[in-house]
Amino acid sequence: MTAGAVSTPAGSAATAAERAPRIFPMPEFTLGDRLTPEQRDFLDEWGFIRFRDFADPSVVRELSDETEEIDRRIVAEGRESIFGVPLVIGKRGDGTRYVQRMVFTSLFGTKLSAFLRDPRFRGILEVAGHDYRIAERERDGLVLNHFRHEAGSAHQQLGWHTDSLRDVFYFEKPRRYLNVGFYLDDSPIAKGGLRVLPKTHEQPIRQMLLRKIHFVDFEPDADEFAIEARAGDLTIHDGRLWHRVAKSELTGDASRRRVMYLPLMNGPVKPKDENSPTPFYFRLRRFARG
């Protein structure tokens, strides 16, 4: 089955609960210095794309080790937020705490910071727009999501949402907002993971904001597709696209799924610091986990 054969019919006879999640038939794209015309067309048409083996296993191990060291450091310091953005903290079976949603992660690790200087990111910035930049100190910076399905986990899934909603709470017009995800762990369909409604990045603003109840709606959609990835893969999705994160069917260590998200921004530079206030939309995110 090719990507071109995918359709998203409205009012499908079978409900999502009556069938297994469908895996989107993604081509085996790899990323060079810039996106090829075919890759740009794919991203423009569907609202997302995946690149295989963006980083080799040795790089993945180095970044993984550094994120674990940062996690231990942040927990030991007793931090509950960074630059006004709340952290999501979970507990393991032995009662030890760990960070499940880490923000501004690259500011705490030299390897992560160097990773963001990979010249291939310039090709992604080129697609986003001539004035786009890597926003290490803006919004939430480099976000590390650590999903686990177990007692004590505070970050097991995310309800339906569009990333561009946050523009509204910053009193800005929703814009094209490319979110770049880098996988530290394999993400097969059994681990839950990313679910998308293809082509919804082209919907009117009203539908982008009101099609579903942001973060509160966890229900599968009859037209959704799962995006699978391997450790070292990189994905891009348009922030206007409706998507969610499904809960893993597995439990414990087998359910671990870590993805780093790098926001690309344009417009006025608005760096954050320790005196930055907590954005209002994080009150909504209290309902985003389950």
Closest C-alpha to 180, from 117, 258, 237, 101: 237
Which CA distances in Å does 279 have to 64, 83, 237, 252? 29, 10, 23, 32
Q: What is the DSSP letter of 201?
A: G
Q: Are 150 and 255 in contact (CB under 8 A)?
A: yes
| pLDDT classification of 173: cutoffs 50, 70, 90 | low
- The mean pLDDT value for 123-132 works out to 92
Q: Write down all domains in the chain, each with its CATH number in brackets.
A: 36-287 (2.60.120.620)
Average pLDDT, the chain: 88
| pLDDT classification of 278: cutoffs 50, 70, 90 | confident
**Residues 34-65 pLDDT 10s:** 999 999 999 999 999 999 999 999 999 999 99
> Residue 265: which residues within 8 A CB-CB, separation 6 or more?
132, 133, 135, 138, 139, 177
**Residues 73-93 pLDDT 10s:** 999 999 999 999 999 999 998
**Residues 23-34 pLDDT 10s:** 999 999 999 999
- The mean pLDDT value for 107-135 works out to 94
Can you give the pLDDT at residue 177?
Answer: 77
Three-class secondary structure of residue 195 per DSSP:
strand
